[in-house]
Amino acid sequence: MADDIILVDESDNQTGTGEKMEVHRQGLLHRAFSILIYNQKGETLLQRRAASKYHCPGLWTNTCCSHPRPGEELIFAAERRLKEEMGFTVPVKKIGLEFIYKIKVRELVEHEYDHVLEGRFDGEPILNPEEADAWKWVSLENLREDIKNNPQNYTPWFQLIIGQGSKEAGEKVKGLEKYEVRKSGRNIDFEKESP
């Protein structure tokens, strides 16, 4: 079913499936992905989550994030959701950063095994208003400074990603119950390396 997501163990092996909202109510560990899209200038594309979102409404975050459906490959799911949320499709790839985090958001719990992906795009997105209500390109330097000064304006998982999988990043995210970096193939540096 379209609203079912993949339950996993701490090694990202599938252990079952569950209805998305019920999984978040129970705080069950599930597979997720976060996409970072860069332009030629090395800036990353942010979206502001729509006010109608079930958690973290109105917060700035990475270009797109979601969950693969049961039986759906991670990259296919990511490219599908990028089109559904941001109105464009580009190839995405894993960057070698995977982490587990757990945090209460309103009456729900995000407990995700998150795969970080990246891609390249130089146009303007066409937002799905049910998903996002604003977008902007931002440099890593400006983004880090704003997250440091205004962390309440950003989603917790995005703060962890920008912290490059560091222990310090986990210590700074308010209300974080659990944070474990499972893979860290390279640091995230928006300024230097483009896909």
Active site residues: 65, 112
CB atoms within 10 A of CB 10: 10
Pairing of the two strands 30-38 and 108-120: parallel
Is 122 in contact with 41 (CB distance < 8 Å)?
no
Is 46 in contact with 136 (CB distance < 8 Å)?
yes
Q: What share of the chain is helix, strand, coil (3-state, %, to 5)?
A: 25, 40, 40
Paired tokens of 183:
């893979």
DSSP-derived 3-state class of residue 47? strand
For CA atoms 118, 119, 125, 127, give the dihedral sign: negative
Q: Mark 86-107 as b/e (b = at least 16 C-beta within 10 Å).
A: bebebebebbebbbbbbbebee
Is 67 in contact with 80 (CB distance < 8 Å)?
no
